[in-house]
Amino acid sequence: MRGGLTRRTVIASGLLAIIIAAAFAVLVLSIIDLNRVEQRSRRSEEVLVVANRFERLMVDAETGIRGFVITRSEDFLEPWQAAQTDFPDQAKMLEQLVADNPEQLARAEQIARDGRSYITDYTVRLVDTTQRDPAAARTVAVTAEGKRRLDAIRVEFDRFIATEQDLAVARQSRADADAERAIVAAAAGLAGSILLIGLYTGYLSRAIVRPVRQVATMAGRLADGDLGTRLPERGVGEIGALERSFNTMAGSLQESRNELAASRARIVAAADQARRRIERDLHDGTQQRLVSLVLDLREAETAVPPEMTELKALLAHVAHELGDATEELRELSRGIHPAILSEGGLPPALKTLARRSVIPVELEVDVPARLPEHVEVAAYYVVSEALTNAAKHAHASAAYVNVRARAGSLELSVRDDGAGGATPGRGSGLVGLTDRIQALGGTISVTSPAGEGTELLVDLPVDGR
């Protein structure tokens, strides 16, 4: 009997060891893969930052060239000269960051070629032409060629950034799959262990079965997403090692998930910061220059003798066109990032949004103090997208917005009386809002029965990320 029990114990222990080893192997591989995904996510964040900086370099060069063509002032050539100096380093850095991805590397090389051609084949000639024959540099053909070249470069940048963002999402999905695989492996190992150990009674029950049941409970909580659960480390021998290993595994999974969530939030923040910088640059740079040019033209118009009617009319026309361009640029910068949101906070920004809405908006805002910047930006874009959808797609006649700050969270609801039928899975607007809210640790829900309007509810955490 002793020999048979010993033999069965050895066999059961061997099977148990195999099951546990397999589970731990899967767990270790999953944790290693999670770490790799985290590193790649950080790389994606760096790629997006470099790409945005690279694109801004080209836009600044174009702005400087246009300013020089219009004014023939050498001061406008400084961004262009800086672009000539920084372009090779920026292109090389971007190519190095995506060297392990042939598709992205090809796009980076294409951007570098197009940018190099734009600077050397177009802008250098344009500067030379402006210095020799200003009128030839201001022709529609020359302007159209510059716009075509820059638009082509920006299209490549958009594709490059979109692909990198898709890669980040795919890596997040892979990390989630690895975590689920680890949990399944742990549950399978524990189920097999319990099945083997359950064959024994008596002292084996106290020494082995009870601790393993506790481990099984932990595995169930892990499977339900509670990565903060831990086992009391009271076991001895292999059982104690099992408890410690599972606690380490749960801690590693929790840390990896937190890092991935933080990485998503950083990507969103980096995009918002880039939009804010672009808006600020447009407002403080290009808009001010255009306004100054309009004032100069108006002053020149008043100085023209009355008998030179054609020149006077031409100056008035140019000043009017520059004024329209300034207004268009102002509207564009508002769409990129509203300055009032940074300056005055969420309540005045939402009031301005409601006033500009094409449908009547009933707005209630109870936010007594400034919120963290990422919360204000997210709330603003939720309301903006919801009002746009209500007017453009739902054909609503009115909308109702309610924003309230509660302890540790911001509650937001947008309701309309439109056609309904909206689903989060359709349309890039709702998908983008969902990604943004979830990246900040919040929740979003959409209720939109056909013919009964749409209601969007958002809950955003305020205390940290």
Chain segment 261-283, per-residue pLDDT in tens? 655 555 555 555 655 666 565 55
Q: What confidence score (pLDDT) does residue 248 get?
A: 82
pLDDT in tens, 54-94: 778 878 878 887 787 788 787 888 887 888 888 888 888 88
149 φ, ψ (degrees, to nearest 5): -65, -45
**pLDDT greater than 50 at residue 1:** no
Yes or no: say if 65 and 83 are a contact pair by the CB < 8 Å rule: no
Question: Measured between alpha carbons, how far apart are the two ends of the chain, in Å?
Answer: 61
**pLDDT greater than 70 at residue 239:** no
Q: What confidence score (pLDDT) does residue 6 get?
A: 44
Q: What confidence score (pLDDT) does residue 465 get?
A: 46
pLDDT in tens, 208-220: 667 777 777 777 7
Q: Tokens representing 263?
A: 């990485």
Helix (H, G, I), strand (E, B) or coil at 442: coil
**Other CB atoms within 10 A of residue 427 CB:** 14
**pLDDT greater than 60 at residue 196:** no
Distances 1 to 142, 158, 378, 409 between C-alpha atoms, Å = 98, 74, 70, 65
Residue 413 banded pLDDT, cuts 50, 70, 90 = very high
Q: What confidence score (pLDDT) does residue 326 get?
A: 66
DSSP state of 370: P
Rounded mean pLDDT of 101-111?
85
Distances 326 to 146, 150, 158, 341, 393 between C-alpha atoms, Å = 20, 20, 25, 21, 30
Q: Tokens representing 113?
A: 């070629």
What is the rounded radius of gyration, in angstroms, for the C-alpha atoms of the chain? 31
Q: What confidence score (pLDDT) does residue 3 get?
A: 39
Rounded mean pLDDT of 8-29?
69
Rounded mean pLDDT of 393-408?
89
- Quote the CA–CA distance of 374 and 379 in Å, as a whole number: 9
**pLDDT greater than 90 at residue 401:** yes
Q: Tokens representing 173?
A: 């999905």
> Which of 6-20, 133-147, 220-234, 432-446 is predicted most confidently?
432-446
Q: Tokens representing 160?
A: 């490059």
Yes or no: say if 401 and 389 are a contact pair by the CB < 8 Å rule: no
- Quote the CA–CA distance of 391 and 448 in Å, as a whole number: 15
pLDDT in tens, 295-347: 777 777 787 787 788 877 787 777 777 766 666 556 555 555 566 777 788 89
Does 420 or 284 have the greater pLDDT score? 420
**pLDDT greater than 90 at residue 48:** no
- Quote the CA–CA distance of 443 and 440 in Å, as a whole number: 9
Rounded mean pLDDT of 352-373?
88
Range name among 122-131, 181-190, 197-206 with the lowest pLDDT average: 197-206
Yes or no: say if 8 and 230 are a contact pair by the CB < 8 Å rule: no
Q: Tokens representing 356?
A: 């500009």
Rounded mean pLDDT of 344-372?
88
pLDDT in tens, 438-458: 888 888 888 888 888 899 899
* % residues pLDDT > 90 (the chain): 5
Q: What confidence score (pLDDT) does residue 399 get?
A: 92
Q: What confidence score (pLDDT) does residue 457 get?
A: 92
Q: What confidence score (pLDDT) does residue 5 get?
A: 34
**pLDDT greater than 80 at residue 234:** no
- What does pLDDT average to over the chain? 76
DSSP state of 75: G
